[in-house]
């Protein structure tokens, strides 16, 4: 998981993290038509910051986007998704510090966030 170094929020939705799963999940996703949040090798997860939007357990509601497309290489990351509530969501970035961080541009609907940093999640949060 890669979490934003600073808060990135569009309307009431804040980017919680971007998750990258292992190579086996990537191969499975590419070879089958199984396109769910349980199997997708890349996920964009947002949390609802609106007052009173918590679940019965007290956790914030989340919105998980399964990409319509993505590209991953040793140098670059490209993710394209779409949400009925957020509109098109894209991330174009690059790995830094030996994969321990991502830097790039995130666009949610018509709002752009340039040169953002996402750090590898460590410990509990």
DSSP letter, residue 27: H
Coil, strand or helix at 110: coil
> Is the residue at 49 inside a domain?
yes
Indicate whether 125 belongs to any domain: no
Decide if pLDDT at 33 tops 70: no
User: Does residue 77 or residue 72 have the better pLDDT?
Assistant: 77
Is 30 among the domain residues?
yes
First-last CA distance in the chain: 11
CB atoms within 10 A of CB 5: 13
103 belongs to a structural domain = yes
For residue 19, being part of any structural domain is answered with: yes
Report the pLDDT value the prediction gives residue 55, as an integer from 0 to 100.
74
Domain-embedded: residue 37: yes
Flag whether 24 is in a domain.
Answer: yes
Average pLDDT, the chain: 86
- Which residue, 42, 3, 44, is CA-closest to 23? 42
Residue 89 covered by a domain: yes
Residue 38 lies in domain: 2-120
Q: How many CB atoms lie within 10 A of CB 55?
A: 10
Q: Are 87 and 93 in contact (CB under 8 A)?
A: no
The C-alpha atoms of residue 52 and residue 37 are separated, in whole angstroms, by 25
63 CB contacts (<8 Å, ≥6 apart)? 13, 45, 46, 47, 48, 83, 85, 86
Query: Measured between alpha carbons, how far is 15 from 9 in angstroms, rounded to an integer?
Result: 6
- Total domain count for the chain? 1
The radius of gyration of the chain from alpha carbons, rounded to an integer in Å, stands at 14
- Tell me the pLDDT tens digit for each residue of 73-98: 888 999 999 998 899 999 999 998 77
């Amino acid at each position: 998981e890669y979490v934003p170094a600073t808060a990135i929020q569009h309307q009431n939705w804040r980017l919680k993290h971007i998750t990258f799963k292992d190579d086996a999940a990537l191969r499975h996703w590419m070879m089958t038509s199984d396109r769910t949040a349980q199997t997708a090798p890349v996920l964009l997860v947002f949390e609802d910051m609106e007052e009173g939007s918590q679940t019965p357990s007290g956790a914030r509601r989340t919105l998980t986007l399964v990409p319509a497309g993505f590209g991953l290489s040793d140098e670059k990351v490209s993710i394209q998704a779409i949400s009925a509530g957020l509109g098109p969501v894209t991330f174009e970035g690059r790995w830094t510090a030996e994969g321990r961080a991502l830097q790039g541009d995130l666009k949610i609907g018509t709002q752009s966030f340039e040169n953002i940093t996402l750090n590898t999640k460590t410990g509990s949060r």
